[in-house]
């Protein structure tokens, strides 16, 4: 009996060893595929193989093979010259499936509609993705000059009121681990000093909502509150408004509406057992 068990164990160990190189190669290939898609998605323009190699450091032969496969599967598409690449239509299918299957969004959509109807400004719903926020839903103000949806966009959390109100639910050490090595300014008003950001997060924790003015987008101010159906909160709602209006009674009106509707949404999600 012992001999049989030993042989079985030895055989299993040998099988594991035999599988290791193949499994490792598959994992590396999968990781590279995902990183390519993320790099293409983050770029405002299509990228050539040379540009991808420069940004990612992968061997040119691997990039060629992976891009060719992704093109055949329609996750990547090329320009008319066939030399520059961007994400393809099947990338949208995956993102749409994520939204369709998120149980919280059904209720979030109602909240965004109600908030826009009440205060008239653009409303966003976002989720923290490590040190970023990922926009899952938006409702543009009815008189918006530009209607570029942010859905699917990913921004550094420290730039946004959405990100700051979600960072405020974490410990200072947790926030430090999520922040990039350097806080890069996007506008002249962006907070780039880590100590100043810590002070701002303390203020957010104290008042229960976040505010930023022209730190991510010139001319735009934002108010955000966390949707605390999870602990710590992963989701938040924000209102974007003209920066010159974000003061006094108008700011108080927006803050009250955002906090009230967000608290109501949190209670609804908890009541329906959504986590």
Q: What value does the CA radius of gyration of the chain take, rounded to a whole number of Å? A: 23
| Mean pLDDT, contiguous 10-residue spans, the chain (275 residues) | 39 39 63 93 92 93 93 95 93 87 96 96 96 95 64 90 98 96 92 96 97 94 97 97 96 98 98 94
What is the model's pLDDT at position 6? 38
This prediction has a pTM of 0.80
The residue count of the chain comes to 275
**CB contact set of 131 (below 8 Å; sequence gap of 6+):** 156, 157, 158, 178, 179, 180
What gap in Å lies between CA 123 and CA 262, rounded to an integer? 12
What is the model's pLDDT at position 1? 39
125: nearest Cα among 83, 87, 160: 160
262, 112 Cβ separation under 8 angstroms: no
What is the model's pLDDT at position 130? 94
241, 256 Cβ separation under 8 angstroms: no
What gap in Å lies between CA 213 and CA 242, rounded to an integer? 9
Q: List the domains of the chain with CATH numbers.
A: 2-92 (1.10.10.10), 102-271 (3.30.450.40)
What is the model's pLDDT at position 149? 58
Q: SS3 letters for 144-202?
A: CCCCCCCCCCEEEHHHCHHHHHHHCCCCHHHHHHHCCCCCCCCCCCCCCCHHHHHHHHH
What is the model's pLDDT at position 5? 42
What is the model's pLDDT at position 20? 44
């Amino acid at each position: 009996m012992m001999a049989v068990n030993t042989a079985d164990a030895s055989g299993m160990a040998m099988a594991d060893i035999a599988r290791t190189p193949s499994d490792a190669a598959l994992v590396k290939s999968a990781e590279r595929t995902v990183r390519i898609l993320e790099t293409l998605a983050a770029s405002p323009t299509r990228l050539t193989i040379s540009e991808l190699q420069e940004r990612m450091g992968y061997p040119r032969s691997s990039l060629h093979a992976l891009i060719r496969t992704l093109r055949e599967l329609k996750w990547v598409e090329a320009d008319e010259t066939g030399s520059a690449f961007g994400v393809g239509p099947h990338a949208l299918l995956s993102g749409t499936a994520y939204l369709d299957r998120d149980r919280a969004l059904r209720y979030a959509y109602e909240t965004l509609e109600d908030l826009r109807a009440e205060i008239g400004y653009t409303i966003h719903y976002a989720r923290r993705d490590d040190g970023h926020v990922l926009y899952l839903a938006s409702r543009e103000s009815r008189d918006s000059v530009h209607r570029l949806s942010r859905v699917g966009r990913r921004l550094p959390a420290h730039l946004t009121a959405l990100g700051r109100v979600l960072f405020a639910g974490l410990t200072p050490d947790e926030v430090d681990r999520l922040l990039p090595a350097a806080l890069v300014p996007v506008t002249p008003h962006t907070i780039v000093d880590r100590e100043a950001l810590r002070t701002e997060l303390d203020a957010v924790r104290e008042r229960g909502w976040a505010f930023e003015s022209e730190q991510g987008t010139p001319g735009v101010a934002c108010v955000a509150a966390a949707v605390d159906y999870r602990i710590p909160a992963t989701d938040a709602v924000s209102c974007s408004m003209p920066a010159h209006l974000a003061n006094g009674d108008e700011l108080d009106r927006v803050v009250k509406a955002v906090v009230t509707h967000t608290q109501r949404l949190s209670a609804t999600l908890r009541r329906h057992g959504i986590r």
